[in-house]
């Protein structure tokens, strides 16, 4: 099928599935399901490639509660995982409409087979992704692909913690922040101007048809919420529906493949990972505040960058633990004992902060009236601090296109808490399955059974213990924390929200993986996955930059195979 034969629909670049003529199937060379970070990056890379591209999106241009409920499902342990209709968005732009924008590439070690981390083998290396990271950075609007202080800044900056030299931790690597870019709104004009892309909104993919021999996909069925159905035909199909929905779609299409697509060996939905994150302890630093920098640096291209305390690869290997980073953080907001007007203001502003962000800021705990009153007192004691902060948030966050990424509180003394973000190990028993309940299209809803392992507790406990030791040995400071509380703190708010990883993992062995190194289902020659679902391991890094890099790599592969 060539683009010329599709000219009739090519002229209408963005349409609603409800307006499509049902007597004619929509056809294309490549059909991408889902218009989040993955789907849009893939489509943009295929722009003007000569291949007709159909981009199907379940939602509309704005959030719609009825569409969002199609994401709801059940959770085995609600203390450990948030409901599946939170921390993801079913709309044009996908979850990038609410993401935080923290970008960093995976580390070299993340791709290695680490004997001490079960199932930790990627079939590709950092080298394979490196050519795509700069463009991924551009699409995420995170500036240059430069993730160390030396490469990102021409002029020297003050150290993060003066005098802190450690064999176990580095402090020169960076995270860079996207605007955060809503991929839908940012790139809609690019999709419009590409002559070969058609975006269909309100196109819920409800069925994926496998050919009788099970070796290829012959079509998709889409439906609008009011039941208007339509047939889609393409040479190649890509699921870019996020880590949870990809598993759902693969599992629920089980007419030819009895266990679901790509699931002959019961791998789809398993190895489900998020990240392990939390805030712990009190770090007293024996240095004046002027020798510390825990805030943002702004790169020449205007991007907010932040340094972290990162566990070195050598130490990960020696200690046989996963990847780990930590940041200097403010005291826990919920505790009025911090006596900080700004933190108390944030506490009181909880009703105005979106659920996904409020959860980690405030926890789910119900505060007593007394606690509430103490926070009010804190605000009254520091009205200028609170007003200054409110102004900064309005100017640099609310009304800025490039938003100040997070809350940075300048402490009055060199005392911080430690905010950590760690790799979760792949665990065969942590999984997404289909539940009993069905949505309006008759598609089974998911059940999330997220589980962590001793290995995960070990990664966090040993990293924190090492950091405490290094602080002490270098006489930089002391980290006070209760080692017994590590497991509680790392699961206090459950799995880190919004990072849905590993449910259709990449590998060379079809018994332990779902897709091959080009993200194609092992046994279905024209079905691909573009998502963090394919990551075999989770790294310390947030997933989106790598999702985009992998999508760009996939686009190139699709262009080459089409040629």
Ligand X SMILES: Cc1cc2nc3c(=O)[nH]c(=O)nc-3n(C[C@H](O)[C@H](O)[C@H](O)COP(=O)(O)OP(=O)(O)OC[C@H]3O[C@@H](n4cnc5c(N)ncnc54)[C@H](O)[C@@H]3O)c2cc1C
- Least separation in angstroms between residue 4's CB and ligand X is 27
**Cα 422 from chain centroid?**
14
CB atoms within 10 A of CB 334: 18
Rounded-to-10 torsion of CA 403, 550, 75, 251: 150
Number of amino acids touching ligand X (CB under 6 A): 40
Quickly list DSSP for 46-57: HTTSSS-EEEE-
Query: Which CB, 36 or 281, lies closer to ligand X?
Result: 36
Residue whose pair of structure tokens reads 């089980």 in the numeric block = 254
User: Binding pattern to ligand X, positions 174-203, x when CB under 6 A?
Assistant: -----------------------------x
In this chain, which stretch among 230-238, 342-350, 396-404, 469-477 interacts with another protein, using CB under 8 A? 396-404
> Does residue 213 have a cis peptide bond before it, meaning omega lies within 30 degrees of 0?
no
Chain positions 258 to 317 lying near another protein, rule: CB under 8 A, are 298-302
- Percent composition of the chain: helix, strand, coil (DSSP 3-state, to 5): 35, 20, 45
Q: Where are the beta strands (DSSP E) in 395-488?
A: 415-422, 431-438, 444-449, 477-480
In this chain, which stretch among 119-127, 185-193, 365-373, 543-551 interacts with ligand X, using CB under 6 A? 543-551
Q: Which helix (H) or strand (E) holds 529?
A: strand 527-529
**Cα 230 from chain centroid?**
31
The reply to whether 73 sits near ligand X by the rule CB under 6 A is no
Chain positions 320 to 359 lying near another protein, rule: CB under 8 A, are none
The reply to whether 35 sits near ligand X by the rule CB under 6 A is yes
Sign of the alpha-carbon dihedral angle for 500, 88, 333, 477: positive
Label residue 536 exposed, middle or buried (CB < 10 Å: 0-12, 13-18, 19+). Answer: buried
Of these partners, another protein, ligand X, none, which one is at the site of residue 37 (CB under 5 to 8 Å by kind)? ligand X
- Least separation in angstroms between residue 265's CB and ligand X is 24
- Least separation in angstroms between residue 192's CB and another protein is 10
The reply to whether 178 sits near another protein by the rule CB under 8 A is no
Of these partners, another protein, ligand X, none, which one is at the site of residue 100 (CB under 5 to 8 Å by kind)? ligand X
The reply to whether 366 sits near another protein by the rule CB under 8 A is no
In this chain, which stretch among 66-74, 186-194, 283-291, 336-344 interacts with another protein, using CB under 8 A? 186-194
User: 204, 91 in Cβ contact below 8 A?
Assistant: no
Strand-pair partners of 279: 419
What does the DSSP 8-state code read for residue 483? Answer: G
Of these partners, ligand X, another protein, none, which one is at the site of residue 36 (CB under 5 to 8 Å by kind)? ligand X
The reply to whether 179 sits near another protein by the rule CB under 8 A is yes
Of these partners, another protein, ligand X, none, which one is at the site of residue 540 (CB under 5 to 8 Å by kind)? none
User: 552, 41 in Cβ contact below 8 A?
Assistant: yes
Q: Which of 455, 497, 507, 536 binds ligand X (CB under 6 A)?
A: 497
User: 1, 29 in Cβ contact below 8 A?
Assistant: yes
Residues lying near ligand X in the complex (CB under 6 A) are found at 33-39, 56-59, 87-88, 90-91, 94-96, 98-102, 203-205, 240-242, 245, 356, 497-499, 531-532, 542-544, 547
User: Which residues form the interface with another protein (CB under 8 A)?
Assistant: 141, 179, 185-187, 189-190, 193, 195, 298-302, 399-402
């Amino acid at each position: 099928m060539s683009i010329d034969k599709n000219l009739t629909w090519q002229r209408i670049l963005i349409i609603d599935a409800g307006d499509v003529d049902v007597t004619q199937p929509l056809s294309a060379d490549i059909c991408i399901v889902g218009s989040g970070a993955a789907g849009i990056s893939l489509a943009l890379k295929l722009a003007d490639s000569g291949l007709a591209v159909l981009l199907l999106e379940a939602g509309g241009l704005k959030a719609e509660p009825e569409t969002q409920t199609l994401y709801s499902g059940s959770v085995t342990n609600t203390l450990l995982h948030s409901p599946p209709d939170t921390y993801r968005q079913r709309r044009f732009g996908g979850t990038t409409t609410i993401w935080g924008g923290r970008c960093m590439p995976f580390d070299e070690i993340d791709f290695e087979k680490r004997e001490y981390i079960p199932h930790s083998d990627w079939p590709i290396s950092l080298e394979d992704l490196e050519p795509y990271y700069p463009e991924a950075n551009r699409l995420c609007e995170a500036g240059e692909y430069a993730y160390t202080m030396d490469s990102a800044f021409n002029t020297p900056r003050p150290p993060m913690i003066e005098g802190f030299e450690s064999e176990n931790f580095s402090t020169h690597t960076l995270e860079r922040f996207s605007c955060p870019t809503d991929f839908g709104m940012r790139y809609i004009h690019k999709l419009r101007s590409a002559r070969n892309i058609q975006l269909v909104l309100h196109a819920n993919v409800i069925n994926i048809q496998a050919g009788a021999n099970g070796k290829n996909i012959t079509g998709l069925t889409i439906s609008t919420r009011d039941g208007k159905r339509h047939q889609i035909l393409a040479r190649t199909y890509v699921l870019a529906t996020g880590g949870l929905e990809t598993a759902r779609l693969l599992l629920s299409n089980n007419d030819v493949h009895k266990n679901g697509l790509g699931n002959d060996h019961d791998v789809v939905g398993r190895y489900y990972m998020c990240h392990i994150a939390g805030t712990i302890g009190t770090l007293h630093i024996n240095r004046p505040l002027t020798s510390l920098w825990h805030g943002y640096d702004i790169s020449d291209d205007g991007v907010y960058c932040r340094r972290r305390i990162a566990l070195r690869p050598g130490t990960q290997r020696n200690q046989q633990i996963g990847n780990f980073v930590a940041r200097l953080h403010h005291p826990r907001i919920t505790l009025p004992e911090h006596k900080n007007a700004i933190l108390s203001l944030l506490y009181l502003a909880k009703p105005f902060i979106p659920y996904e962000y409020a959860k980690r800021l405030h926890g789910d705990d119900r505060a007593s009236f007394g606690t509430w009153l103490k926070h009010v007192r804190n605000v009254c004691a520091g009205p200028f601090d609170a007003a200054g902060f409110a102004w900064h948030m309005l100017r640099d966050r609310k009304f800025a296109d490039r938003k100040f990424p997070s809350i940075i509180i300048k402490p009055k003394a060199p005392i911080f808490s430690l905010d950590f973000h760690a790799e979760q190990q792949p665990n065969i028993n942590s999984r997404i399955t289909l539940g009993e309940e069905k949505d309006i299209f008759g598609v089974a809803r998911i059940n999330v059974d997220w589980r962590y392992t001793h290995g995960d507790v070990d990664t966090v406990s040993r990293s924190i213990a090492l950091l405490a030791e290094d602080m002490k040995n270098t006489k930089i400071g002391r980290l006070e924390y209760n080692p017994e509380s590590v497991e509680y703190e790392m699961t206090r708010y459950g799995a880190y929200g919004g990072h849905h990883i590993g449910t259709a993992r990449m590998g060379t062995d079809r018994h332990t993986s779902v897709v091959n190194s080009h993200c194609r289902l092992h046994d279905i020659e024209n079905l691909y996955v573009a998502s963090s679902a394919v990551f075999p391991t989770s790294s310390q890094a947030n997933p989106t930059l790598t999702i985009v890099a992998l999508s760009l790599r996939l686009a190139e592969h699709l262009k080459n195979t089409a040629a």
